[in-house]
Structure 1
Amino acid sequence: MRSSSGSKTFRISPLKIAAFYTLLFAVTSFAKAAEPVVVNANTIDTTALLVTPSTISYRAKSGDTLMAIAERLTPNRSNWVALAKLNHIRNDRTIPIGTAIVIPVSLLHEDPSNAKIVTLSGTVNINAANGPALPAAVGTTLEEGARIETGNNSFVTLALSDASRIALPSNSQIKLTVLRVARYTNTPLTEVTLMQGRIESQVSSLKKNKGRFEVRSPLAVAGVRGTDFRVDFHNGEMATEVLSGGVAVALPQRPAALTLQPGQGNISDAHAVGKAVKLLPAPNFADYQAVQERPTLHFKLVPNNDARSFRAQVATDPQMQNILTEISSNSENLNIPGLADGSYFMRVTAVDKLGLQGIPRVDGFTLHARPEPPYPLQPKGKSRGTPVAFTWAEVADAQAYHLQVASDEHFSQPIIDEPAIPSTQFSTEKLALGHYFWRVATIADKDGKPNHGPFGDPQSLQLMSALQLPKLPDATDGPLSLSWPSEPGQKFVLDIARDAAFSTLYLTQELDTPEITVPRPPNGTYFIRIKAIDPDGYVSPYSTTQKIYFGSRWVTSDGSPLLNSGGITPAGY
């Protein structure tokens, strides 16, 4: 072969020429295999997709390339490499028409999702991702980046697009860090950052749709595939408790250290993921009162030596989504104030020595505490003689009161049952000496109808014989000696007056013994009474008043005093 200058001639054998063209063809073919021919991605028909919970499938058409498919159906056209490997396609130029190109959720576009407030009580502060405050109200929609903070005894529950629930108890703070769904499949992709306090999650199953739900704290990550679990972040530790499903726990940027199974929990810190621990069983009640009749609820649990405390929450629904109040108690006694009358549900857990909450139990109860019963005044513990006067404090807006007296504290057969007493007292002489119980309830108006409140606590009553002075003579001309029956430890007060109303007292004497000798007073008519003070402080009513005349008097032939229109006829009359 001669060059273009004509100065030299090069000779190349036919074999070398053939080898050159063979190499050129191979290089060209390799370049075409590594870089598919690009067609317009907008020609991909997304209406023909076959959507499953965790994938989409696209049927290839004439002229389709993996790069065009990746550019249209995934966030990055470089995903064509992963599609080729996943679908076992070696030559992008020769995709048979009708081939199903499967794309997993992990390669799909992520679209914004949201959460909605479904229940709320107390003080809840919400800020959008860009800072402005959002209304804390049922129905408010929250988007990715929103921050939520609950105050003391405050609660909020969020519903996600897949019906998962996030409940935030008191004194907690979270950020909705990721709130998205995969395009076409609507697979949820959720990440919540717990900055303080607790979060309780009920996550719809993610096994089929390959979704993601993670709760992160500065210490660890808890990831699930559908479960009911709790996370608590306090004092440099993260507690994770699993009630159903499984939760993988890991330190940030590290693989999962362990997967907690149902009924397990653990404590993680900045250095390590703690080992799995069996959660305490659900507490039992010593005596469950399904109807509560006092404004402060009272429940008593069976002691558990492995529990350092107990936690109780009250809600209006059995799913415990609309929580109204919660308490923590270091004893088996749960006292919960501040609820209106109505029907409720209570969830109780035992907290172990690590601080992990155990398996919960949920029970329903009814609160019927209004109108409140009146405060009982008299009698207190005992009474002497009849009539017996029952008195109680007045209740505002009361229309009437219901009094019951029985010989047993369960009032199975009331001896006295007065259902509509208009005042705050009632007297009776129907009771014989003995031991009784009495109680009072308030009746008020509610929506134009009588509303009978609960009875007050039963009051014990020991009815004893009345204190009596011995029969005094009608008159005497000397000192007066008195004695009367008594009980051990009693003290007495003796009154002698010039008038029956005891407005003009001649003598008032406190006595340690049941006897007294009174020196002869000036002539005249006097009135005498006594009362007893028992060792327990009970003060009896005064005895029946007796009248006596001091001084000389005329008598009849049988020794009886001679009477005139003014009474006894004194000597010298």
Structure 2
Amino acid sequence: MSISRTTLLRQCQTSLLAAICLSFSPLSFAQTPRGEPGSVLATPPDMTYFAQQGDTLSSIAKRFTDKAPNWTILGKRNHIADDRAIPIGTAILIPLELLPEEESEAKVLALAGNPTYKPVNGADTPLAIGTVVKEGTQIFTGKNGFITLSFPDNSRVSIPSNSQISFAKLRKTKYTASPRTEISLLEGKVESHVSSLLSNKGRFEVRSPLAVAGVRGTHFRVGVTAAGTANEVLEGGVAVNNPALKKSTGIILPAGKGNIISASIVGKAVDLLPAPKLSEQYLLQVRPTIQFLIDKSEAATGYHVQVSRDAQALDVLTENTFKDTRFKFDGVADGAYYVRIAAIDQYGLEGIPLTQAFTLKARPEPPFTVQPKNKIRSDKTDFVWTEASNAESYHLQVANDDQFKDIVLDQSNLKDVQFSSDAIKVGNYFWRIATVVIQKDGKSNQGPFSDPQAFSRLPAQTGAAFADSEGKEISFNWAAEPGQKFLIQIAKDPEFKTIYLARDTSAAELKIQRPDAGQYYIRVQATDPDGYVGAFSSTQKITIKARWVDSDGNAISTGGGTLGTGF
């Protein structure tokens, strides 16, 4: 005869059934699981087994707990007084802590550098993505190594450089795979992202020479330092203790707290330093050397910086500890990454990390700029740069501002390493150059521009004005600015291969003895007070005419002017 829940609750009010009613859980009324005889079902904090023909509590205890005497515990848990035959299909609750343990494993999810591992009775072997490690395995990350391991329950453990750990226990319960993990931290640090173990009664511990950190599901770090064992909790809560101390002094560290455990004391919980602040200007990196600059924290003694492929810093490419607030990394390929920065306090505890996504687009690298530099004096502006490897073309820009918001010249598809323009007027400018290459897929790829180079376009040097006075001397003069010095050249050919005269002067004029009749070419070059040597002025042609002279060398003149030779 079936009894409704309402009737049963009414009967529970009598003293005769009170004790029975106290043993009923909500699962007993409407949530009793059902399953095929002989099957099991995870129902934390128990495992439910559905009896099959011939089962007794003793046989069930022997089969699932390896100990037949455990039938008494099963009897109490299931309110069965005798070790008797169990009806087929009956749901028997078996506490998870009674289940035997079996071998588990961890797998390499990500790594950097050259970490190695040493299995039990094995030799040191390089680790690789996908390597499976078992209980008793030791792992060494080395100077530039980093490794992240994944577990069957999706927990993750990251081991940074210069660290050594061993898996003192790497097991799981039979039938329900409840984790039983114990990591011995011998040197360095370990960071753990542990999936919740509350429902499956799992255990996860990190043990160092001075401390034990036990969790039921959290995100925390444990490190071996000169002062002792450093514990830092980022999520959840961690129970920490030093088992060697006679008195029970363990404490629970909540999120945002940390402490140091030494040989003599379990340190009090202290606040972890807040996440540093990073300017948005570093979201796009355009140089092969990655750089970051954060606001200085007066409470920080240093900073731990990691560059990773993921926001959780499970796949770290490179990392380092810095004293200053500027951080630099080399050897990273173009791509999308994350930087994670944590301040380190006076106790050696790492604080709450800042995680920021950024993009590195530094290739193809721009050429080195050659000219113009600072200023020019020329009718045309010549831009010159070095040749970049594998360049298909170049992209040149000139602007009125260093942010290139007001562009006055934008010239792409330049095949040579120089370009001349007469469109640049007198004024102050900035210029930059970028490399364009052809990728394997046939698409063009322009790299970042070079750093902006400032220059001033000054009025071109004027040529030397010449007036033939018909005397023994001829003179030239030209426009000048205060403090300038000049080089004036006179040649017999427009290419200035045959120099007739070259003279340095600080005056903006030149007087020389009248040369022989003929065609001559003249140009002037100015040097500014700051040492800048300008371009030569445009070449001018002058004609020295033949003439009749007297015994003193003066020109013979008539009422109509100087008397020439007629040729």
Aligning the two structures, in what range does the TM-score lie when normalised by the shorter sequence?
0.7 to 0.9
Pairs within 5 Å for 1:105-120: 105-120=96-111
Matched, 1:201 2:198: no
Q: Answer yes or no: is the 8 Å Cα contact 1:287–1:301 preserved in 2.
A: no
Counterpart secondary structure, 1:431: coil
Report what 1:349 is aligned to: 342
Larger Rg computed on CA atoms: 1
- What is the CA–CA distance in structure 1 between the aligned matches of 2:361 and 2:251, rounded to whole Å? 48
Deviation readout 1:256-313 (Å, 9 max, x if unpaired): 5211110111122222222211111112223333222221222322232222223322
Report what 1:317 is aligned to: 310
Question: Are the structure 2 counterparts of residues 80 and 94 from structure 1 closer, same or farther at C-alpha, using a change threshold of 3 Å?
Answer: closer
- What is the CA–CA distance in structure 1 between the aligned matches of 2:37 and 2:174, rounded to whole Å? 11
* 2:145 equivalent among 142, 154, 161: 154
Report what 2:33 is aligned to: none
Counterpart secondary structure, 1:288: helix
Q: Answer yes or no: is the 8 Å Cα contact 2:521–2:540 preserved in 1.
A: yes
Report what 2:382 is aligned to: 389
* 1:559 Cα offset (Å): 5.4
- What is the CA–CA distance in structure 2 between the aligned matches of 1:427 and 1:559, rounded to whole Å? 47
Pairs within 5 Å for 1:367-386: 367-386=360-379
Q: Answer yes or no: is the 8 Å Cα contact 2:71–2:83 preserved in 1.
A: no
* 1:157 Cα offset (Å): 1.0
Deviation readout 1:56-94 (Å, 9 max, x if unpaired): 46689999576x76554435667678x3897599x9867
Report what 2:324 is aligned to: 331
Q: Answer yes or no: is the 8 Å Cα contact 1:472–1:546 preserved in 2.
A: no
* 1:468 equivalent among 445, 462, 468: 462
Report what 1:177 is aligned to: 168
Question: Are the structure 2 counterparts of residues 505 and 59 from structure 1 closer, same or farther at C-alpha, using a change threshold of 3 Å?
Answer: closer
* 1:212 Cα offset (Å): 1.0
Pairs within 5 Å for 1:79-228: 83=73, 87=77, 103-134=94-125, 136-228=127-219
* 1:459 equivalent among 444, 453, 459: 453
- What is the CA–CA distance in structure 1 between the aligned matches of 2:77 and 2:483, rounded to whole Å? 102
* 1:406 equivalent among 399, 407, 416: 399
Question: Are the structure 2 counterparts of residues 51 and 443 from structure 1 closer, same or farther at C-alpha, using a change threshold of 3 Å?
Answer: closer
- What is the CA–CA distance in structure 1 between the aligned matches of 2:442 and 2:470, rounded to whole Å? 66
- What is the CA–CA distance in structure 1 between the aligned matches of 2:152 and 2:537, rounded to whole Å? 80
Deviates more, 1:322-331 or 1:271-280: 322-331
* 2:221 equivalent among 203, 227, 230: 230
* 1:485 Cα offset (Å): 4.5
Q: Answer yes or no: is the 8 Å Cα contact 2:172–2:178 preserved in 1.
A: yes
State the AA in 2 paired with 1:164: S
- What is the CA–CA distance in structure 1 between the aligned matches of 2:385 and 2:564, rounded to whole Å? 49
- What is the CA–CA distance in structure 1 between the aligned matches of 2:475 and 2:230, rounded to whole Å? 82
* 1:455 Cα offset (Å): 1.4
Q: Answer yes or no: is the 8 Å Cα contact 2:137–2:167 preserved in 1.
A: yes
State the AA in 1 paired with 2:375: K
Q: Answer yes or no: is the 8 Å Cα contact 1:287–1:299 preserved in 2.
A: no
Question: Are the structure 2 counterparts of residues 563 and 465 from structure 1 closer, same or farther at C-alpha, using a change threshold of 3 Å?
Answer: farther
Deviates more, 1:247-256 or 1:460-469: 247-256
Q: What RMSD over aligned residues (CA atoms) do the two structures have, in Å?
A: 3.5
State the AA in 2 paired with 1:166: V
- What is the CA–CA distance in structure 2 between the aligned matches of 1:192 and 1:153, rounded to whole Å? 22
* 1:166 Cα offset (Å): 0.6
Question: Are the structure 2 counterparts of residues 331 and 475 from structure 1 closer, same or farther at C-alpha, using a change threshold of 3 Å?
Answer: farther
Question: Are the structure 2 counterparts of residues 376 and 103 from structure 1 closer, same or farther at C-alpha, using a change threshold of 3 Å?
Answer: same
* 1:415 Cα offset (Å): 1.7
* 1:398 Cα offset (Å): 0.6
Question: Are the structure 2 counterparts of residues 219 and 467 from structure 1 closer, same or farther at C-alpha, using a change threshold of 3 Å?
Answer: same
- What is the CA–CA distance in structure 2 between the aligned matches of 1:560 and 1:218, rounded to whole Å? 112
Deviates more, 1:125-134 or 1:527-536: 527-536
* 1:252 Cα offset (Å): 3.4
Counterpart secondary structure, 1:106: helix
How many residues align? The count is 517
Pairs within 5 Å for 1:513-532: 513-515=506-508, 520=513, 523=516, 527-532=521-526
Q: Answer yes or no: is the 8 Å Cα contact 1:479–1:518 preserved in 2.
A: yes
Q: Answer yes or no: is the 8 Å Cα contact 1:476–1:549 preserved in 2.
A: no
Q: Answer yes or no: is the 8 Å Cα contact 1:205–1:225 preserved in 2.
A: yes
Deviation readout 1:453-502 (Å, 9 max, x if unpaired): 22111111210012235412357765666665444554444445555444
Deviates more, 1:233-242 or 1:158-167: 233-242
Q: Answer yes or no: is the 8 Å Cα contact 1:313–1:325 preserved in 2.
A: yes
* 2:538 equivalent among 538, 541, 544: 544
Pairs within 5 Å for 1:231-270: 231-235=222-226, 237-254=228-245, 255=248, 257-270=250-263
Matched, 1:364 2:364: no
Counterpart secondary structure, 2:97: helix
- What is the CA–CA distance in structure 2 between the aligned matches of 1:320 and 1:375, rounded to whole Å? 35
State the AA in 2 paired with 1:330: K
State the AA in 1 paired with 2:461: L
Question: Are the structure 2 counterparts of residues 288 and 85 from structure 1 closer, same or farther at C-alpha, using a change threshold of 3 Å?
Answer: farther
- What is the CA–CA distance in structure 1 between the aligned matches of 2:483 and 2:328, rounded to whole Å? 40
Stretches of structure 1 that go unaligned for 5 or more consecutive residues are 1-44
* 1:347 Cα offset (Å): 1.7
Q: Answer yes or no: is the 8 Å Cα contact 1:349–1:358 preserved in 2.
A: yes
- What is the CA–CA distance in structure 2 between the aligned matches of 1:342 and 1:50, rounded to whole Å? 46
Counterpart secondary structure, 1:118: strand
State the AA in 2 paired with 1:186: A
- What is the CA–CA distance in structure 1 between the aligned matches of 2:335 and 2:101, rounded to whole Å? 45
Q: TM-score, normalised by structure 2?
A: 0.81
Q: Answer yes or no: is the 8 Å Cα contact 1:65–1:92 preserved in 2.
A: no
Question: Are the structure 2 counterparts of residues 480 and 198 from structure 1 closer, same or farther at C-alpha, using a change threshold of 3 Å?
Answer: farther
Question: Are the structure 2 counterparts of residues 52 and 489 from structure 1 closer, same or farther at C-alpha, using a change threshold of 3 Å?
Answer: farther
State the AA in 1 paired with 2:286: E
Q: TM-score, normalised by structure 1?
A: 0.80
Q: Answer yes or no: is the 8 Å Cα contact 1:467–1:543 preserved in 2.
A: yes
Q: Answer yes or no: is the 8 Å Cα contact 1:406–1:436 preserved in 2.
A: yes
Counterpart secondary structure, 2:331: coil
State the AA in 2 paired with 1:438: W
Question: Are the structure 2 counterparts of residues 353 and 494 from structure 1 closer, same or farther at C-alpha, using a change threshold of 3 Å?
Answer: farther
